Amino acid sequence: MTNRWLRQQVTMSRLSRRAALGATVAIAAGGVAGIPIATADDDPASEIKHIVAFRYRPTVTPEQKTDVLNRFLALKNDCKRDGRPYILSIVGGDCTQSLEGLTGGFEQAFIVSLANRDDYRYYIGRPFTYPFDPVHDAFKTYSLPLLSVDAAGNTNGAMVFDFDTIV
């Protein structure tokens, strides 16, 4: 009886997370039931949060994971726009010790804070925008081969969420 109850709770938790994610996507896409929301396009001074999580291939060593972590954190000072650093902050680290156990196999997570939509676009770079940050682009080129892939060989080792701060 206890195992059945626990399975039901885990299933409900997963469904709740999916519903919350769906609501977040709906809100990010323009609101719920036609209710407009404020976005960075409405307020050019709105800060952007860029959240990234990595899941690695089984062959990636702990040393390689540490190198990716250090390289990602170094982007704060290494990424420049018009000769000056433009990333407000980067925090990140190992996310495998979550007591909730809901990391989905992701091992590292980061939050990048950017001052505005223009800096965000420059940071994200190609293939989405041009011009782009060559330092961040080089980091993507380095880290991509280390990330997990699905049976078809498509990368499933990166999860990204972006949102405009409204408070």
Domain boundaries, the chain: 1-37, 44-164
Q: What is the DSSP letter of 155?
A: B
The confidence score (pLDDT) of residue 166 equals 85
Q: Which amino acid is at 120?
A: Y
The confidence score (pLDDT) of residue 26 equals 36
- Cβ atoms of 101 and 117 closer than 8 Å: no
The confidence score (pLDDT) of residue 45 equals 60
Topology, domain 44-164:
Alpha-Beta Plaits (3.30.70)
Residues 24 and 70: their CA atoms lie apart, in Å, by 30
Residues with Cβ within 8 Å of residue 146, at least 6 apart in sequence: 56, 57, 60, 64, 65, 68, 157
The confidence score (pLDDT) of residue 44 equals 55
Strand partners, 2: none
The confidence score (pLDDT) of residue 23 equals 37
- pLDDT < 70 positions in the chain: 1-45, 167
The confidence score (pLDDT) of residue 60 equals 98
The confidence score (pLDDT) of residue 46 equals 81
